Every structure is written in structure tokens, then in C-alpha cells.
Structure 1
């Protein structure tokens, strides 16, 4: 079975970004993104009501990392490594089958500048080369054209369309599933 145990949290770098571990000081930036209707338009998750919820979320991410269940990074500009502009990572893992689901979000101030693409390329490489994943999966809201385009641009293929498979805010919602196979397997 696959194991996600690293001796220390893996910090990744791209041309313009540092991908680092979440810290409590990121709570306000996360709160701001997760309460921004533009950011959350296609992310069907409950919005935090207060900063304490986000701090609890950061602790859960850290615990999940320590337990080898997830690996998520803060996206920060190299020249401002303490300032979170987004997040990317493997939120759900299926270690027995060498699969993980990737997800990402970005502060709208940084949209359409190639940051998600840059981070996605690096995290995909890390997922295949260091985590030894066989498949990376992405689950998107079918209305999210921007996410679909970036996934396809990075080689993901649509694997499924589920009708009303997710219940959120009193409604049944559809899901689109994309997958990327490890080219080294």
C-alpha cells in the first residue's frame, strides 16, 4: 500500500511560487477566500462563519499530513513567502489504490496569471515522482469552465459525469470527474 510519510513537510518551488505548509497565520487569507462568493462559486463547501473554524481546518490539514492522509500546500509568491495567495494539494487519498484527488483555489487578485497552472504542474510531478501515485483525480462542479480547461491543459481526461451525486445547501448537484494516469507506470 502507498504511504505518504515524509520526514519533513516537502516545500516545493516553481518559477514564481513557493509551495509550503499551512500555518495558523494563514487563517485570515483562507477565511477571506472561503467566504468570497467569487472564489467559492463552484466550490460546494460550507463557508466558515468565524476565524476559529479556519484555524481548526488548518489543524485538521496538519493532522492529516502527519497521519499520511493528505498533503496540501499554501501557494505564496517567492518574494512574499508569508503571504498566502492560494492553496493546492491532495485532499483525499486512496492509498490502497495509489490514487489521490487534487484540488486548488486562488485569491481572485491573482487569477489569469498562470499561478494555478504553475503550481499544478509541480504538484502533479511531485504526486507521480515522490508520492508514487498511479492516478490523480479532480472532481469539479460542471459549471466550472476555468477548472475544466486547466485540467485538460495538464493532460487530465474526463472519466465520469455523475448526475445529482452530491447534496449541498438543499440541492442535489452534478459532478464531473477528471483523471490523470502516471506516465511512468
Structure 2
């Protein structure tokens, strides 16, 4: 069976595959600039840093890596290296310890008295204690939140230990560096909330929303469980923006962090009528952000010339109804409808905005 090949422009993360920084991935093979690399070799190329600070993050061996991709591959590196250099050895040492215990129990069961066996028994007891000690240390470090990532040091492969604080510090450094690139030009604002275009720099925040089952449940969409899937979605939004379409925009807080999305549905869309759709990452629920976002978006749509603005929500999502009522909508029974999703019917409650 042929493995599917995927392509990523690691400089722009868009669908322009004519430039030099094109990565082709097929299985565990990474083809880049004529070189065929393994997953570990790719980590070495991208995550050996010549500089690492919130002002500047640079790879020693590959230039012009998009900071979002650099963070994404670093997180993959950490997961891979932690598994290879911390978890697997702990499991292996534990398994060997079990075999030694089994061997010692057999010696005791058959009551061997040969001096060679007795001496061998002492050696195995010593080895057992050593292996149990190694296993305990590795498991304990993992439970304390230790991580690892692989890079090159003085031309050699190095597995770098990261305690919980240092690992979080590196993630925070990536986030601050990425945040410096975010577009802070808002289309509209209301209170503490702004609405702007979604960009590649929103990848990780957008992923937190789209991968969450509870969030997507009421949006009647399947969760997206991969960064690649979210990248594809962002690329679609960017193409829509070029055509003046606002199917999805970013809801951001005072720190310019994407906390949700809002936009218009393609269903029943005309030059004068639109239906709004919105969603918020779970950790920002019940804090009044959605009402501010809806009000801001309504102002934006009115400026764009829309005369009739409607909205619907799944009948079980009572909180969404409260948001709409607080935002100036009224119930409209003639807008109620049934939507079929995953072989199941959902009752949608209709609303219309009244100034």
C-alpha cells in the first residue's frame, strides 16, 4: 500500500509549493532540498537552535522557518524524544527486572545448591537492584514532568533533559515570539474583545478550539485532531478573505490571543441577509466574551450593508440562546429548522437581530 505524500511550505505554511522551502513527508521520511531524512534527522535539522529567545528563534541549519512550524516540530520532537529516551528505557528496564525476578524464583523453587548458581544468584540480585533503581528514576522523572528533545551539540546527537519549568519556559518563549508577528489590525472591537482575520500565527490557539469535542459538539462538526488539518482550514480562510468573504474570523482578547471564531454561514447567504455562526474555546466559556464578540460582529455586518441578520443554535445549547438574547436578537419561530448530522436530526432554534 502506497503511503500518502504531504507537502508543507515551512516558510509560509500556505499552498505555494514553488519555492525552495518545500518539505515533502511520506511515512517517516522527510524530503527537503534534495535530502532524504528520517524523523530524528529532521528534528536535528530544525531544532538545533543558533539563537532562542522571545525576540529571535533561529535554527542553525535551516533558515526562514515559519515560527509556528518551528514550534509545531519542536512539540513533535519533545513527544518523540521523551518516548524514545525516557519512557521506553523505563519500560525495558522494568521488563528485564521482571525476567530476573522470574529467574530467581525458579532458582529458589528447585533449591539449587551449586556454588556457581549461588554466585550467579547474587550477581542477578545486584543487577535487579540496579535495573529497578534505573526504572524508578526514569518513571519518577516522567511523573515530575520531565521531557526530552533531540538536537546536535558539537556535531553529535544530544538528548536534552527539560524539567517541567524549563519545558514550559521554552513553550512560553515560542508563544511570545509568535505573538510578535500576529496581525493586530482589528476589523471591529467591543469591550475587551477584538475581531480580526485568522492567520497562521493562530494555529495553536485555533487547534485548541477545533480539537475540543465539547466545543465542536454544538457546532455540528467533527473535531480536527491534527495541526495539518487546522493548517488546511486556515489556508481556506485566507483564500476566502481574498474574495471578501468572512466565513470565519478570529475572536481575540486584549493580548491578541485567539479565543474563538465568528463568521457568516454559507447557508442562505445573500448581499442583504446572513446567518452568524460562532464558537469559543472551552476555557473562555461563561466569561461574557461571546456576547461582546457577537455585538462587535453585528456592528461590522451592519457597516457592510446587511439588512437582515439571523442566527440559530442547537436546542440543547441553552447558553447560546442566552448569548443571542443579550446581543439584541429575538426569537423567530419561522426560522426554526431541523438539521441532519451524522444520521441524527438536530432541532435548531431561530433568532433575528433587531436594532
TM-score class, shorter: 0.7 to 0.9
Q: Distance in 2 between matches of 1:105 and 1:119?
A: 10
Q: Report the TM-score, using the length of structure 1 for normalisation.
A: 0.81
Between stretches 46-55 and 132-141, larger displacement belongs to 46-55
Gaps of 5+ in 2: 1-184
Task: Give the equivalent residue in structure 2 for 1:119.
Answer: 293
Please, which of 269, 290, 293 is the counterpart of residue 94 of structure 1?
A: 269
Structure 1 residues 49 and 111: CA distance shift in structure 2, 3 A:
closer
| Deviation per residue, 1:9-41 (Å, 9 max, x gap) | 852222212322101121222222122122223
Query: Does the aligned pair in 1 maintain the 2:213–2:223 contact within 8 Å?
Result: no
**CA-to-partner distance for each residue in 1:103-140, whole Å, 9 max, x for gaps?**
11112222221111111111111211x11111111121
Matched, 1:151 2:324: yes
Instruction: Assess, with a 3 A threshold, how the Cα gap between structure 1 residues 110 and 44 changes in structure 2: closer, same or farther.
Output: same
Residues 58 and 95 of structure 1, relative CA distance in 2, 3 Å threshold: same
Which 4+ runs in 1 deviate beyond 6 A? none
> Which one has a larger percent strand, Structure 1 or Structure 2?
1
Structure 1 residue 91: Cα displacement: 3.5
Q: How many residues align?
A: 168
What is the TM-score with the length of structure 2 in the denominator? 0.44
C-alpha distance in 1, partners of 2:194/2:331? 29
What's the offset of the Cα at 1:174?
1.9
Q: How does 1:6-155 map to 2 (within 5 A)?
A: 11-70=187-246, 72-78=248-254, 80-81=255-256, 83-92=257-266, 94-96=269-271, 98-128=272-302, 130-155=303-328
Between structures 1 and 2, the one with greater helix share = 2
Q: Which runs of 5+ in 1 are unaligned?
A: 1-8
